[in-house]
Amino acid sequence: MSRPITPPTSKSARLRELLAGPVPVTAVGAHDGLTAKLVERAGFDAVWCSSFEVSASYGLPDASLVTMTQFLSAAEAMDAITDIPIVADCDTGFGGPLNVAFAVERYERANIAAMCIEDKLFPKMNSFADAAQDLLPTEEFVLKIKAGKEAQSDDRFLLIARTEALIAGQCIDEALYRVHAYAEAGADAVLVHSKSSRPDEILELGARWDNRIPLVAVPTTYASVSEQSLFEAGYRLVIYANQGMRAAVKGMREVLGKLRVAGHAESVHDDIATMSEIFELQGMTAAFRTAP
């Protein structure tokens, strides 16, 4: 039995419209429904369901330890309470081509707008970890992309291919070779990752790209570059992948430290959100109004 056709107002269709628009599309990393809602309230265009953040929320390394079911559950929780598209970070696609195809079917069925897979070996290690960053041969990753696209039933769903060539210390030519191969395989966008402290290699790659499909940037380490500069270089989607969680950890650490020393709750009164603010984010006020 065929699955129902996604309605015209699908979030994947909206994401495609944004990527074709005249301004950069911005997404911010989240790991649960509450953080996704905060991203939306801040005015960003999309949520990045970050594998780093989801893994950290379990207290685990970002090293392929969290399962597809856990990642999908996080994405579904975000999607259920926001009106903006969810872009799911799916690491290496949870295995080989068959695993990628299965993931595409599941994420598409859950109405997630897009999923992103990267060309590292499984199990992967976070790109900024002091560890080997071994790449899958280009031809093998192409098979994953093709399998994912063949499994797709709604042509509005996006499969984003991510190259870690620059992360692995490869040259720009190698990164370009890979993203061109991934575009030819059917990827809807290509994410080029870098851990350089400067945006030079990202901007150079953009200048040499022919703009057939959108480029995606994640300016975690080359943080001084503007969204507009990236857009002018061909990057249509800019992802702030982990700033929210890092801000939360810093804030919680400071508040908990102050509370532990002071020994009374009033010491952190001005540093924390009010209960009514949390109620509002939860929709608790509406629940009060509809309660019998």
Residues catalogued as catalytic: 62
**What tokens appear for 171 in the block?**
């040259």
d(CA 194, CA 129): 13
Question: Which residue, 24, 28, 25, is CA-closest to 242?
Answer: 28
Question: Which residue, 92, 56, 91, 115, is CA-closest to 249?
Answer: 56
d(CA 113, CA 82): 12
H helical segments located in 186-225: 200-208
Strands, E assignment, 141-186: 158-163
d(CA 92, CA 74): 17
Of all residues in the chain, what percent are helix, strand and coil, respectively (each to 5)?
45, 15, 40
